[in-house]
Amino acid sequence: MVCAAASGCVTVHGEREVLPGASRAEAEQALQDFLTAYNAADKAFDPALDADRVTGSLGAINQAGLKARQTYNPDGNKAHEPLVLDDTTYVIPKKAGWPRWFLADTDSNRDEDGGKLDTRWLVAFVRSGPDALWKASYLAVVPPSQVPDFVLDGDGFATPVEPRDGGLAVPPAELSTAYTGYLSDGEPDVFAPGPATSGWRESRRTEQRAGFSYQYVDQPLTSAAFAPLGLRTEDGGALVFFSSRHFERQTAAKGLKPEVNADVKALLSGEVDSSLTKERLSSQLVHVPRRDAGSGSPAAGKVRVLNRLPGLVAAKGE
């Protein structure tokens, strides 16, 4: 893994000038501010305590989850353990205009399997303007081997990927539409097989309950706080975050009712009689190869989903 830039100042002027997204000091402070707010909110199960430090799909998932847990744990989180993110590499791209952003590649104290499975937490921070706060917009958890080498300039700054970059197998701006189309119809077939692609489509087809029917609607999310963020990698491809929205409607046969758990109940509108619709947001971290990389194996040249972070944000009963 390559260490990224450690210096460079951002001014409030020169919006057309290509500048580092942040200085190292700003990036370090942004991560610390996020951790302080996140831990306070998690301890109290109070979404207001970190609402100004999260945005995008991560923010929506975080806020809905805290709201739900606050409902059935009004005294807070008795099992709270502070999140620690350290051993951090800051991958800071140069770009013109706003928003500006950077990636924090960190080690956490939340490794899976009791610490036996080492992971890296990749947190993308976005600042929408010169007077705005840094906010965490994307989070992905991956093995260290999945963190690529990024293209860096002579000063150690990374190269962002343009949303409409035609040199990639799928331009970042089209990833959410391609992903939701693939989940719905199997087309376009641009994603490598895996749990978040072919596996998810198969589980929708086979994981059914007797007496219930299921409908799924997948919608792209591409604008404003949900815009994709990508960095050029040394293999000619890109590492990209993007968001999507997913609805699951469960309709019961006469005499049956959909099950409503505590999280669903806390976010529920309407009365569950014969149907329940769950709304989830999801963020994906993917590796997008260059457009001419498609040879050698069936998965060559296809987008690989490295991590998917879904969360329930609303539910409706009918």
DSSP bridge partners of 139: 123
Structural domains in the chain, sorted by start? 1-159 (3.10.450), 161-318 (no CATH)
* Higher pLDDT among residues 8 and 156, named by residue: 156
What is the b/e burial string over 85-99, where b = at least 16 CB atoms within 10 angstroms of the residue's CB? beeebbbbbbbeeeb
- pLDDT bin (cut points 50, 70, 90) of residue 295 is low
pLDDT for 168 beyond 80: yes
pLDDT for 202 beyond 70: yes
- pLDDT bin (cut points 50, 70, 90) of residue 2 is very low
pLDDT tens, position by position, 206-262: 888 889 999 999 999 998 999 999 999 999 999 999 999 999 999 999 999 999 999
pLDDT for 200 beyond 80: yes
pLDDT on residue 208 = 81
User: Which distant-in-sequence residues (6+ apart) come within 8 Å of 18 by Cβ?
Assistant: 94, 95, 96
Q: What is the rounded CA–CA span in Å between residue 308 and residue 180?
A: 13
pLDDT on residue 298 = 62
pLDDT for 117 beyond 90: no
Question: Residue 47 carries which DSSP code?
Answer: G
Percent of the chain with pLDDT over 90: 86
pLDDT tens, position by position, 75-115: 999 999 999 999 999 999 999 999 999 999 999 998 866 55
* Average model confidence (pLDDT) across the chain: 92
Count Cβ atoms within 10 A of the Cβ of residue 226 and give its class: 0-12 exposed, 13-18 middle, 19 or more buried. Answer: buried
pLDDT tens, position by position, 40-89: 999 999 999 999 999 999 999 999 999 999 999 999 999 999 999 999 99
pLDDT on residue 116 = 65
- What is the radius of gyration, based on Cα positions, of the chain? 20
* Higher pLDDT among residues 285 and 295, named by residue: 285
pLDDT on residue 296 = 60
pLDDT for 1 beyond 50: no
With beta carbons less than 8 A apart as the criterion, state whether 38 and 120 touch: no
pTM attached to this predicted model: 0.92
pLDDT on residue 14 = 47
